[in-house]
Chain A
Protein backbone atom coordinates (compact mmCIF):
# COMPACT_ATOMS: atom_id res chain seq x y z
CA UNK A 1 0.00 0.00 0.00
CA UNK A 2 2.88 2.36 0.76
CA UNK A 3 6.05 1.92 -1.20
CA UNK A 4 9.00 4.21 -0.54
CA UNK A 5 11.99 3.80 -2.83
CA UNK A 6 15.50 5.24 -2.52
CA UNK A 7 14.50 8.41 -0.72
CA UNK A 8 17.13 11.14 -0.22
CA UNK A 9 16.04 14.12 1.85
CA UNK A 10 17.94 17.31 2.60
CA UNK A 11 17.42 20.27 4.87
CA UNK A 12 19.14 22.96 2.86
CA UNK A 13 22.41 21.20 2.10
CA UNK A 14 22.28 18.97 5.16
CA UNK A 15 21.39 15.48 4.07
CA UNK A 16 19.08 13.85 6.60
CA UNK A 17 18.07 10.65 4.81
CA UNK A 18 20.07 8.40 2.52
CA UNK A 19 18.51 5.78 0.23
CA UNK A 20 15.57 5.04 2.44
CA UNK A 21 13.30 2.31 1.06
CA UNK A 22 10.41 0.76 2.91
CA UNK A 23 7.11 -0.94 2.31
CA UNK A 24 3.85 -1.23 4.17
CA UNK A 25 1.08 -3.64 3.14
CA UNK A 26 -2.65 -3.21 3.63
CA UNK A 27 -3.58 -3.33 7.33
CA UNK A 28 -0.02 -3.72 8.55
CA UNK A 29 1.55 -1.99 11.55
CA UNK A 30 5.10 -1.13 10.68
CA UNK A 31 7.35 0.72 13.06
CA UNK A 32 10.44 2.73 12.39
CA UNK A 33 12.69 2.77 15.40
CA UNK A 34 15.96 4.49 16.09
CA UNK A 35 17.56 6.97 18.45
CA UNK A 36 16.63 10.58 18.20
CA UNK A 37 18.43 12.40 15.47
CA UNK A 38 18.34 9.27 13.34
CA UNK A 39 16.03 10.92 10.80
CA UNK A 40 12.67 9.51 11.84
CA UNK A 41 10.82 12.81 11.91
CA UNK A 42 12.41 13.85 8.66
CA UNK A 43 11.00 10.72 7.08
CA UNK A 44 7.51 11.54 8.33
CA UNK A 45 7.75 15.17 7.21
CA UNK A 46 8.91 14.07 3.82
CA UNK A 47 6.06 11.57 3.41
CA UNK A 48 3.57 14.33 4.30
CA UNK A 49 5.05 16.71 1.75
CA UNK A 50 6.31 19.16 4.37
CA UNK A 51 9.94 18.56 3.37
CA UNK A 52 10.36 17.63 -0.29
CA UNK A 53 12.51 14.64 -1.24
CA UNK A 54 15.44 15.32 -3.51
CA UNK A 55 15.56 11.79 -4.94
CA UNK A 56 13.43 8.67 -4.81
CA UNK A 57 9.71 8.05 -4.93
CA UNK A 58 6.73 7.60 -2.65
CA UNK A 59 3.79 5.57 -3.99
CA UNK A 60 0.61 5.42 -1.94
CA UNK A 61 -2.11 2.96 -2.95
CA UNK A 62 -0.83 2.89 -6.50
CA UNK A 63 -0.62 6.68 -6.87
CA UNK A 64 2.75 8.44 -7.07
CA UNK A 65 2.64 11.21 -4.47
CA UNK A 66 6.31 12.22 -4.64
CA UNK A 67 6.65 16.00 -4.61
CA UNK A 68 2.92 16.60 -4.23
CA UNK A 69 2.07 19.70 -2.21
CA UNK A 70 1.12 18.86 1.38
CA UNK A 71 -2.55 19.77 1.07
CA UNK A 72 -3.05 17.25 -1.73
CA UNK A 73 -1.39 14.31 -0.03
CA UNK A 74 -4.01 14.18 2.71
CA UNK A 75 -6.74 13.47 0.19
CA UNK A 76 -4.85 10.51 -1.18
CA UNK A 77 -5.34 8.50 2.00
CA UNK A 78 -2.56 9.29 4.46
CA UNK A 79 -3.10 11.25 7.68
CA UNK A 80 -0.63 12.36 10.28
CA UNK A 81 -0.48 12.34 14.08
CA UNK A 82 2.38 14.81 14.39
CA UNK A 83 5.16 14.78 16.92
CA UNK A 84 4.15 16.95 19.88
CA UNK A 85 0.48 16.69 18.81
CA UNK A 86 0.39 20.14 17.19
CA UNK A 87 -3.32 20.68 17.62
CA UNK A 88 -4.98 23.96 16.73
CA UNK A 89 -4.83 25.24 20.31
CA UNK A 90 -7.21 28.17 19.93
CA UNK A 91 -10.00 26.04 18.43
CA UNK A 92 -12.40 23.77 20.27
CA UNK A 93 -12.09 20.00 20.37
CA UNK A 94 -15.04 19.71 17.99
CA UNK A 95 -13.46 22.15 15.53
CA UNK A 96 -10.14 20.34 15.63
CA UNK A 97 -11.88 17.10 14.74
CA UNK A 98 -14.02 18.75 12.12
CA UNK A 99 -10.98 20.23 10.39
CA UNK A 100 -9.33 16.83 10.27
CA UNK A 101 -11.89 16.00 7.59
CA UNK A 102 -11.06 19.02 5.45
CA UNK A 103 -9.82 17.07 2.46
CA UNK A 104 -12.33 16.59 -0.34
CA UNK A 105 -12.56 12.82 0.06
CA UNK A 106 -13.37 12.91 3.76
CA UNK A 107 -15.53 16.03 3.88
CA UNK A 108 -18.85 14.46 2.83
CA UNK A 109 -18.53 11.85 5.60
CA UNK A 110 -17.89 14.24 8.47
CA UNK A 111 -20.88 13.29 10.61
CA UNK A 112 -20.27 9.59 10.26
CA UNK A 113 -16.52 9.92 11.00
CA UNK A 114 -17.22 12.09 14.00
CA UNK A 115 -19.53 9.50 15.46
CA UNK A 116 -16.89 6.84 15.04
CA UNK A 117 -14.15 8.93 16.62
CA UNK A 118 -16.33 9.93 19.55
CA UNK A 119 -17.20 6.29 20.19
CA UNK A 120 -13.53 5.46 20.13
CA UNK A 121 -12.67 8.38 22.47
CA UNK A 122 -15.67 9.10 24.70
CA UNK A 123 -13.57 11.64 26.61
CA UNK A 124 -13.35 13.82 23.53
CA UNK A 125 -17.14 13.84 23.25
CA UNK A 126 -17.35 15.09 26.83
CA UNK A 127 -14.91 17.91 26.16
CA UNK A 128 -16.32 18.82 22.77
CA UNK A 129 -16.53 22.55 23.52
CA UNK A 130 -13.24 23.00 25.33
CA UNK A 131 -10.28 24.62 23.65
CA UNK A 132 -7.79 22.03 22.47
CA UNK A 133 -4.99 23.96 24.16
CA UNK A 134 -6.60 23.41 27.57
CA UNK A 135 -6.70 19.59 27.41
CA UNK A 136 -4.29 17.38 29.35
CA UNK A 137 -1.39 15.78 27.53
CA UNK A 138 -3.14 12.43 27.16
CA UNK A 139 -6.36 13.98 25.93
CA UNK A 140 -4.41 16.05 23.45
CA UNK A 141 -2.79 12.92 22.07
CA UNK A 142 -6.22 11.28 21.71
CA UNK A 143 -7.48 14.37 19.95
CA UNK A 144 -4.51 14.34 17.59
CA UNK A 145 -5.28 10.71 16.73
CA UNK A 146 -8.98 11.49 16.41
CA UNK A 147 -8.26 14.40 14.11
CA UNK A 148 -6.19 12.17 11.86
CA UNK A 149 -8.92 9.50 11.80
CA UNK A 150 -11.41 12.14 10.67
CA UNK A 151 -9.45 12.36 7.42
CA UNK A 152 -10.55 8.75 6.72
CA UNK A 153 -7.03 7.61 5.97
CA UNK A 154 -6.06 4.18 4.79
CA UNK A 155 -2.70 4.77 6.39
CA UNK A 156 -2.04 6.52 9.68
CA UNK A 157 1.37 8.11 10.20
CA UNK A 158 2.21 8.40 13.88
CA UNK A 159 5.24 10.45 14.86
CA UNK A 160 6.48 9.78 18.40
CA UNK A 161 3.03 9.35 19.96
CA UNK A 162 4.48 8.49 23.39
CA UNK A 163 6.71 11.54 23.65
CA UNK A 164 6.28 13.58 26.81
CA UNK A 165 3.44 11.46 28.19
CA UNK A 166 3.21 9.78 31.56
CA UNK A 167 3.70 5.97 31.44
CA UNK A 168 0.02 5.24 32.15
CA UNK A 169 -1.02 7.44 29.26
CA UNK A 170 1.54 5.81 27.02
CA UNK A 171 -0.20 2.48 27.68
CA UNK A 172 -3.51 3.98 26.63
CA UNK A 173 -2.04 5.42 23.46
CA UNK A 174 -0.54 2.13 22.40
CA UNK A 175 -3.83 0.40 23.11
CA UNK A 176 -5.54 2.82 20.74
CA UNK A 177 -2.91 2.20 18.08
CA UNK A 178 -3.53 -1.51 18.36
CA UNK A 179 -7.31 -0.98 18.06
CA UNK A 180 -6.94 1.22 15.01
CA UNK A 181 -4.74 -1.35 13.38
CA UNK A 182 -7.21 -4.09 14.19
CA UNK A 183 -9.85 -2.20 12.19
CA UNK A 184 -7.74 -2.82 9.08
CA UNK A 185 -6.01 0.54 8.77
CA UNK A 186 -2.30 0.60 8.02
CA UNK A 187 -0.16 2.27 10.68
CA UNK A 188 3.34 3.59 10.22
CA UNK A 189 4.64 4.13 13.71
CA UNK A 190 7.73 6.19 14.33
CA UNK A 191 8.93 5.78 17.90
CA UNK A 192 11.95 6.11 20.09
CA UNK A 193 10.32 3.93 22.72
CA UNK A 194 11.71 0.88 20.95
CA UNK A 195 10.39 -1.86 23.20
CA UNK A 196 6.80 -0.63 23.17
CA UNK A 197 6.80 0.02 19.45
CA UNK A 198 8.08 -3.43 18.62
CA UNK A 199 5.42 -5.05 20.80
CA UNK A 200 2.55 -3.95 18.60
CA UNK A 201 4.23 -4.05 15.18
CA UNK A 202 3.98 -6.61 12.42
CA UNK A 203 7.31 -5.55 11.00
CA UNK A 204 9.94 -2.97 11.83
CA UNK A 205 12.80 -1.00 10.36
CA UNK A 206 15.79 0.30 12.27
CA UNK A 207 16.88 3.75 11.18
CA UNK A 208 20.32 4.95 12.14
CA UNK A 209 22.12 8.12 11.07
CA UNK A 210 19.67 8.63 8.23
CA UNK A 211 19.84 5.10 6.80
CA UNK A 212 17.76 1.97 7.15
CA UNK A 213 20.20 -0.45 8.74
CA UNK A 214 17.89 -3.36 9.53
CA UNK A 215 14.50 -4.69 8.62
CA UNK A 216 12.57 -7.63 10.00
CA UNK A 217 10.19 -9.21 12.47
CA UNK A 218 9.91 -7.31 15.75
CA UNK A 219 11.17 -10.23 17.79
CA UNK A 220 14.16 -10.55 15.54
CA UNK A 221 14.99 -6.86 15.89
CA UNK A 222 14.45 -6.85 19.62
CA UNK A 223 17.03 -9.62 20.01
CA UNK A 224 19.54 -8.12 17.66
CA UNK A 225 22.70 -6.52 18.98
CA UNK A 226 22.30 -3.74 16.37
CA UNK A 227 19.44 -2.21 18.30
CA UNK A 228 21.55 -1.90 21.39
CA UNK A 229 24.54 -0.61 19.50
CA UNK A 230 22.74 2.02 17.43
CA UNK A 231 20.50 3.24 20.20
CA UNK A 232 22.99 2.99 23.04
CA UNK A 233 26.22 3.19 21.11
CA UNK A 234 27.83 0.28 23.00
Chain B
Protein backbone atom coordinates (compact mmCIF):
# COMPACT_ATOMS: atom_id res chain seq x y z
CA UNK B 1 0.00 0.00 0.00
CA UNK B 2 2.80 2.36 0.95
CA UNK B 3 4.54 1.51 -2.29
CA UNK B 4 1.47 2.15 -4.44
CA UNK B 5 0.53 5.40 -2.73
CA UNK B 6 4.03 6.75 -3.06
CA UNK B 7 3.79 6.21 -6.82
CA UNK B 8 0.59 8.21 -7.02
CA UNK B 9 1.78 11.13 -4.94
CA UNK B 10 3.46 13.65 -7.23
CA UNK B 11 6.57 14.17 -5.19
CA UNK B 12 9.67 15.58 -6.94
CA UNK B 13 11.46 12.24 -6.92
CA UNK B 14 8.83 9.53 -6.70
CA UNK B 15 11.27 6.78 -7.54
CA UNK B 16 13.60 7.77 -4.71
CA UNK B 17 10.73 7.87 -2.22
CA UNK B 18 9.54 4.48 -3.39
CA UNK B 19 13.00 3.02 -3.03
CA UNK B 20 13.33 4.40 0.47
CA UNK B 21 9.94 2.97 1.47
CA UNK B 22 10.81 -0.37 -0.04
CA UNK B 23 14.05 -0.35 1.93
CA UNK B 24 12.12 0.40 5.12
CA UNK B 25 9.73 -2.47 4.46
CA UNK B 26 12.65 -4.75 3.69
CA UNK B 27 14.42 -3.73 6.88
CA UNK B 28 11.38 -4.51 9.01
CA UNK B 29 10.81 -7.87 7.30
CA UNK B 30 14.49 -8.63 7.76
CA UNK B 31 14.33 -7.94 11.49
CA UNK B 32 11.27 -10.12 11.89
CA UNK B 33 12.83 -12.99 9.98
CA UNK B 34 16.21 -12.73 11.71
CA UNK B 35 15.41 -15.24 14.47
CA UNK B 36 14.12 -17.76 11.91
CA UNK B 37 17.19 -17.28 9.77
CA UNK B 38 19.52 -17.84 12.72
CA UNK B 39 17.66 -21.01 13.70
CA UNK B 40 17.86 -22.40 10.17
CA UNK B 41 21.54 -21.52 9.89
CA UNK B 42 22.23 -23.34 13.15
CA UNK B 43 20.19 -26.29 11.90
CA UNK B 44 22.41 -26.38 8.80
CA UNK B 45 25.74 -25.92 10.55
CA UNK B 46 25.41 -27.86 13.80
CA UNK B 47 24.92 -31.31 12.14
CA UNK B 48 27.63 -30.56 9.57
CA UNK B 49 30.14 -29.79 12.31
CA UNK B 50 29.25 -33.10 13.92
CA UNK B 51 27.98 -31.45 17.11
CA UNK B 52 24.86 -33.63 16.80
CA UNK B 53 24.44 -36.89 14.94
CA UNK B 54 23.41 -35.90 11.38
CA UNK B 55 21.47 -39.16 11.15
CA UNK B 56 19.02 -37.96 13.82
CA UNK B 57 19.16 -34.30 12.84
CA UNK B 58 20.07 -33.98 9.17
CA UNK B 59 21.17 -30.52 7.94
CA UNK B 60 18.36 -28.24 6.87
CA UNK B 61 19.35 -28.43 3.19
CA UNK B 62 18.94 -32.23 3.25
CA UNK B 63 15.48 -31.78 4.74
CA UNK B 64 14.59 -29.25 2.04
CA UNK B 65 15.72 -31.70 -0.64
CA UNK B 66 13.58 -34.43 0.91
CA UNK B 67 10.65 -31.99 1.09
CA UNK B 68 11.08 -31.19 -2.59
CA UNK B 69 11.04 -34.89 -3.49
CA UNK B 70 7.90 -35.44 -1.44
CA UNK B 71 6.24 -32.40 -2.97
CA UNK B 72 7.08 -33.29 -6.58
CA UNK B 73 6.01 -36.92 -6.15
CA UNK B 74 2.59 -35.71 -5.01
CA UNK B 75 2.85 -37.57 -1.70
CA UNK B 76 2.88 -34.37 0.30
CA UNK B 77 -0.21 -33.03 -1.44
CA UNK B 78 -2.06 -36.29 -0.92
CA UNK B 79 -1.24 -36.52 2.79
CA UNK B 80 -1.85 -32.80 3.27
CA UNK B 81 -5.22 -32.98 1.58
CA UNK B 82 -6.21 -35.96 3.72
CA UNK B 83 -5.31 -34.09 6.91
CA UNK B 84 -6.86 -30.79 5.90
CA UNK B 85 -10.13 -32.32 4.77
CA UNK B 86 -10.43 -34.13 8.11
CA UNK B 87 -9.51 -31.04 10.10
CA UNK B 88 -11.86 -28.75 8.17
CA UNK B 89 -14.82 -31.09 8.17
CA UNK B 90 -14.34 -31.66 11.89
CA UNK B 91 -14.04 -27.94 12.51
CA UNK B 92 -17.11 -27.20 10.39
CA UNK B 93 -19.21 -29.75 12.25
CA UNK B 94 -17.93 -28.38 15.57
CA UNK B 95 -18.96 -24.85 14.52
CA UNK B 96 -22.40 -26.04 13.46
CA UNK B 97 -22.95 -27.78 16.79
CA UNK B 98 -21.18 -25.49 19.25
CA UNK B 99 -22.39 -22.05 18.16
CA UNK B 100 -26.14 -22.76 18.40
CA UNK B 101 -25.59 -24.67 21.64
CA UNK B 102 -23.47 -21.85 23.04
CA UNK B 103 -26.08 -19.26 22.10
CA UNK B 104 -28.71 -21.34 23.85
CA UNK B 105 -26.65 -21.80 27.02
CA UNK B 106 -25.49 -18.19 27.05
CA UNK B 107 -28.98 -16.80 26.67
CA UNK B 108 -30.64 -19.15 29.12
CA UNK B 109 -29.40 -18.57 32.64
CA UNK B 110 -31.07 -21.68 34.11
CA UNK B 111 -29.73 -23.97 31.41
CA UNK B 112 -26.32 -22.42 32.00
CA UNK B 113 -26.44 -23.13 35.73
CA UNK B 114 -27.31 -26.77 35.06
CA UNK B 115 -24.75 -27.35 32.31
CA UNK B 116 -21.79 -25.27 33.52
CA UNK B 117 -20.36 -27.96 35.86
CA UNK B 118 -20.70 -30.59 33.15
CA UNK B 119 -18.95 -28.35 30.63
CA UNK B 120 -16.15 -27.75 33.15
CA UNK B 121 -15.58 -31.53 33.53
CA UNK B 122 -15.52 -32.28 29.80
CA UNK B 123 -13.48 -29.25 28.93
CA UNK B 124 -10.77 -30.35 31.34
CA UNK B 125 -10.70 -33.89 29.99
CA UNK B 126 -7.84 -34.11 27.48
CA UNK B 127 -9.38 -34.97 24.09
CA UNK B 128 -6.56 -37.41 23.36
CA UNK B 129 -7.48 -39.38 26.46
CA UNK B 130 -10.80 -40.06 24.76
CA UNK B 131 -9.25 -41.27 21.51
CA UNK B 132 -9.33 -44.92 22.64
CA UNK B 133 -13.01 -44.49 23.46
CA UNK B 134 -13.79 -43.07 20.03
CA UNK B 135 -11.73 -45.82 18.37
CA UNK B 136 -13.52 -48.44 20.45
CA UNK B 137 -16.95 -47.20 19.47
CA UNK B 138 -16.36 -45.83 15.98
CA UNK B 139 -13.50 -47.98 14.72
CA UNK B 140 -10.21 -46.75 13.27
CA UNK B 141 -11.68 -45.21 10.10
CA UNK B 142 -12.34 -41.62 9.16
CA UNK B 143 -15.30 -41.28 11.50
CA UNK B 144 -13.36 -41.66 14.70
CA UNK B 145 -10.69 -39.17 13.63
CA UNK B 146 -13.19 -36.54 12.51
CA UNK B 147 -15.21 -37.11 15.67
CA UNK B 148 -12.06 -36.54 17.65
CA UNK B 149 -11.57 -33.19 15.90
CA UNK B 150 -15.20 -32.26 16.40
CA UNK B 151 -14.94 -33.01 20.09
CA UNK B 152 -11.71 -31.09 20.62
CA UNK B 153 -12.74 -28.08 18.52
CA UNK B 154 -16.23 -27.77 19.96
CA UNK B 155 -15.13 -26.69 23.46
CA UNK B 156 -13.35 -23.44 22.68
CA UNK B 157 -16.18 -22.47 20.32
CA UNK B 158 -18.85 -23.38 22.86
CA UNK B 159 -17.13 -21.52 25.68
CA UNK B 160 -16.41 -18.40 23.68
CA UNK B 161 -19.97 -18.30 22.39
CA UNK B 162 -21.36 -18.60 25.91
CA UNK B 163 -18.97 -15.89 27.09
CA UNK B 164 -19.80 -13.69 24.11
CA UNK B 165 -23.51 -13.86 24.80
CA UNK B 166 -23.13 -13.37 28.55
CA UNK B 167 -20.80 -10.38 28.32
CA UNK B 168 -22.82 -8.17 26.00
CA UNK B 169 -22.79 -4.64 27.42
CA UNK B 170 -25.99 -4.46 29.54
CA UNK B 171 -26.37 -0.80 28.57
CA UNK B 172 -26.81 -1.79 24.91
CA UNK B 173 -29.50 -4.25 25.92
CA UNK B 174 -31.18 -1.58 28.02
CA UNK B 175 -31.06 0.88 25.12
CA UNK B 176 -32.55 -1.64 22.71
CA UNK B 177 -35.23 -2.63 25.22
CA UNK B 178 -36.16 1.02 25.68
CA UNK B 179 -36.71 1.19 21.91
CA UNK B 180 -39.29 -1.53 22.30
CA UNK B 181 -37.34 -4.55 21.02
CA UNK B 182 -38.75 -7.87 22.17
CA UNK B 183 -36.58 -10.79 23.34
CA UNK B 184 -36.13 -12.35 19.91
CA UNK B 185 -35.30 -9.09 18.09
CA UNK B 186 -32.98 -8.19 20.97
CA UNK B 187 -31.13 -11.45 20.48
CA UNK B 188 -30.86 -11.14 16.69
CA UNK B 189 -29.99 -7.46 16.51
CA UNK B 190 -27.94 -6.86 19.65
CA UNK B 191 -26.70 -10.01 21.37
CA UNK B 192 -25.63 -11.82 18.21
CA UNK B 193 -23.68 -9.01 16.51
CA UNK B 194 -22.10 -8.05 19.82
CA UNK B 195 -20.85 -11.62 20.34
CA UNK B 196 -19.37 -12.18 16.88
CA UNK B 197 -15.79 -11.13 17.72
CA UNK B 198 -15.70 -13.27 20.88
CA UNK B 199 -17.14 -16.25 19.02
CA UNK B 200 -14.59 -15.91 16.27
CA UNK B 201 -11.71 -15.90 18.76
CA UNK B 202 -13.03 -19.31 19.83
CA UNK B 203 -13.11 -20.47 16.22
CA UNK B 204 -9.51 -19.43 15.71
CA UNK B 205 -8.41 -21.36 18.81
CA UNK B 206 -10.48 -24.32 17.67
CA UNK B 207 -8.80 -24.36 14.25
CA UNK B 208 -5.37 -24.60 15.86
CA UNK B 209 -6.55 -27.31 18.22
CA UNK B 210 -8.22 -29.32 15.46
CA UNK B 211 -4.99 -29.56 13.50
CA UNK B 212 -3.08 -30.48 16.66
CA UNK B 213 -5.45 -33.20 17.74
CA UNK B 214 -5.83 -34.58 14.25
CA UNK B 215 -2.09 -35.08 13.81
CA UNK B 216 -1.95 -37.00 17.07
CA UNK B 217 -4.93 -39.11 16.02
CA UNK B 218 -3.31 -39.80 12.65
CA UNK B 219 -0.13 -40.94 14.37
CA UNK B 220 -2.07 -43.49 16.39
CA UNK B 221 -3.99 -45.02 13.54
CA UNK B 222 -4.32 -43.92 9.92
CA UNK B 223 -3.22 -44.81 6.42
CA UNK B 224 -2.94 -41.23 5.14
CA UNK B 225 -2.44 -37.75 6.48
CA UNK B 226 0.53 -35.70 7.61
CA UNK B 227 0.51 -37.26 11.08
CA UNK B 228 0.67 -40.71 9.53
CA UNK B 229 3.36 -39.56 7.12
CA UNK B 230 5.59 -38.19 9.87
CA UNK B 231 5.15 -41.26 12.02
CA UNK B 232 5.70 -43.67 9.12
CA UNK B 233 8.83 -41.82 8.06
CA UNK B 234 10.24 -42.22 11.53
CA UNK B 235 9.36 -45.96 11.56
CA UNK B 236 11.08 -46.43 8.22
CA UNK B 237 14.06 -44.37 9.33
CA UNK B 238 13.47 -41.75 6.61
CA UNK B 239 14.57 -39.02 8.94
CA UNK B 240 14.78 -36.11 6.43
CA UNK B 241 11.23 -36.98 5.29
CA UNK B 242 10.08 -36.90 8.89
CA UNK B 243 11.42 -33.39 9.37
CA UNK B 244 9.96 -32.35 5.99
CA UNK B 245 6.54 -33.43 7.28
CA UNK B 246 6.99 -31.52 10.51
CA UNK B 247 7.99 -28.34 8.67
CA UNK B 248 4.98 -28.65 6.38
CA UNK B 249 2.78 -28.97 9.41
CA UNK B 250 4.10 -25.89 11.15
CA UNK B 251 3.84 -23.89 7.92
CA UNK B 252 0.21 -24.98 7.57
CA UNK B 253 -0.56 -24.04 11.17
CA UNK B 254 1.09 -20.67 10.69
CA UNK B 255 -0.84 -19.93 7.48
CA UNK B 256 -4.12 -20.99 9.04
CA UNK B 257 -3.56 -18.77 12.04
CA UNK B 258 -2.58 -15.76 9.95
CA UNK B 259 -5.65 -16.17 7.74
CA UNK B 260 -8.01 -16.55 10.69
CA UNK B 261 -6.45 -13.63 12.52
CA UNK B 262 -7.07 -11.46 9.46
CA UNK B 263 -10.73 -12.42 9.42
CA UNK B 264 -10.93 -11.90 13.17
CA UNK B 265 -9.52 -8.38 12.89
CA UNK B 266 -12.03 -7.60 10.16
CA UNK B 267 -14.91 -8.81 12.28
CA UNK B 268 -13.84 -6.91 15.37
CA UNK B 269 -12.79 -3.67 13.69
CA UNK B 270 -15.54 -1.86 15.57
CA UNK B 271 -14.06 -2.94 18.89
CA UNK B 272 -11.04 -0.64 18.50
CA UNK B 273 -10.66 1.88 21.30
Q: Do A and B come from one complex?
A: no
Binding site for B on A (CB under 8 A): none
